[in-house]
Amino acid sequence: MRESEHSPCILGIESSCDETSAAILQGFDVHSHIVYSQMIHKKYGGVVPELASRAHEHAISQVVDAAFEASGKKPEDIDAVAATYGPGLMGALLVGLNFAKGFALAADIPLIGVNHLEAHLYASMLEFPELKTPYLCLLVSGGHSMLVDVSGIRDFTILGNTRDDAAGESFDKVARLLDIGYPGGPQIDALSDSGDPRAIAFPRSLLEPDSLDFSFSGMKTAVLNHVRKQAQLSEQDKADIAAAFQEAVVDVLKEKLRRAVKRSGHKRIVLAGGVAANRRLRAELKKMAEKMDLQLFYPPLEYCTDNAAMIAATAVLYHREGLFSDMNIVAIPNLKLA
């Protein structure tokens, strides 16, 4: 059943990296969702912090206005305003958080500061509002690779964490080596269709036998060494490298998730973060879930990568518990999940 009119109406804002996004939700019903992806970083092959904050400043009012227009809601319909306060780029976070503070003051409504990582954990609730905790979440994004035991709101245990390059970061770096564009994950995902995943045997870094941590920097270096040995890369070589690297990352994620399921005993598995958009990962985990008799949830593609709908959804949960933020809340670039 969908949320009723009595559920809080939330304006959510996300500006932690290179997406300026606003969404208006009534409960978990998304009335509007606008994402402005900053294209300026493409030519640098990565996000340039100073350019990101400037672009957020430029876009924020228009993005929020567009969210209101698309939703049919008015500012006076909003019960609370939520914004990411970390982790992320300081200047970028400040734009969204300060905008939300201004809105909360002007409309005289509560402010809810949201941890961006926590929002990724709940993004599947936008598609499955009935999804209940506890569950095991594999959170794989540009900045993090984590396995999290989610018991409830603000109640998590981190089972495995990022040791060096995050999963998405390794996709981005390999894509840069292949000169196929930024962000790398979607490019490698697409290019892999025409490559052979068995063409090159890249290593699978699994760390210690009992470890649920992730390490992708060695795998990225293996690609670098392979590329350096080639005089020239044909389009087919690039596709084979992309497919073989993607396969190696997916194998590692699958094995770590399998270990975490065995250890935690969870039957509900939730995928989250930008890398959760990867088609090969989704297909392989679906097979694994069937084999191990697990329920697998993943958000629609638009809610895997950074978006304000997941920020507003987290605020819906906080609003229910009366968890509001002080106006003095500050942006915390290295904010942790737990």
Binding site for ligand KG4 (CB under 6 A): 17, 141-143, 168-169, 171-172, 183-186, 189, 273-275, 277-278, 305-306
Which residue, 104 or 277, is less far from ligand KG4 as judged by CB?
277
Nearest to 252 by CA among 220, 277, 297: 220
| In the complex, minimum distance from the CB of residue 93 to Zn ion, in angstroms, rounded to a whole number | 12
CB-nearer residue toward ligand KG4: 77 or 181 = 181
Identify the residue among 20, 26, 141, 205 touching Zn ion (CB under 5 A): 141
Q: Name residues whose C-beta falls within 8 Å of residue 117's C-beta, 6 or more positions apart in sequence.
A: 87, 139, 144, 146, 335, 336, 337
Q: Which is nearer to ligand KG4, 38 or 305 (CB)?
A: 305
Nearest to 272 by CA among 143, 175, 163, 171: 143
Residue 123 C-beta: closest distance to ligand KG4, Å: 9
197 binds, among ligand KG4, Zn ion, none (CB under 5 to 8 A by kind): none
Angle CA 126–161–252, to nearest 5: 85
Considering only the stretches 136-144, 182-190, 199-207, 316-324, report the one whose residues sit in contact with Zn ion under the rule CB under 5 A. Answer: 136-144
Cis peptide before 183 (omega within 30 of 0): yes
Minimum Å gap between C-beta 301 and ligand KG4 is 8
Gap between the Cα atoms of 42 and 77, Å rounded: 37
Q: Closest CB to ligand KG4 among 18 and 240?
A: 18
DSSP-based three-state secondary structure for 14: strand
Residue 334 Cβ, how far from ligand KG4 at the closest point, in Å? 13
CA 153 to chain centre: 18
Residue span 95-134 as binding mask against Zn ion, x where in contact by CB under 5 A, dash where not: ----------------------------------------
> In the range 285-314, which residues lie near Zn ion by CB under 5 A?
306
Shortest gap between Cβ of 228 and ligand KG4 (angstroms)?
A: 23
Q: Token pair of 284, please?
A: 């392989």
User: Closest CB to ligand KG4 among 7 and 21?
Assistant: 21
The candidate with the shortest Cα–Cα distance to 295, out of 72, 75, 135, 79, is 135
Starting from the edge strand earliest in sequence, which strands make up the sheet with 29-37, in order? 29-37, 19-26, 9-14, 80-86, 111-115
Whole-angstrom distance, CA of residue 36 vs CA of residue 33:
10
Q: Would you say 53 or 141 has its CB closer to Zn ion?
A: 141
Contacting positions for Zn ion (CB under 5 A)? 141, 306
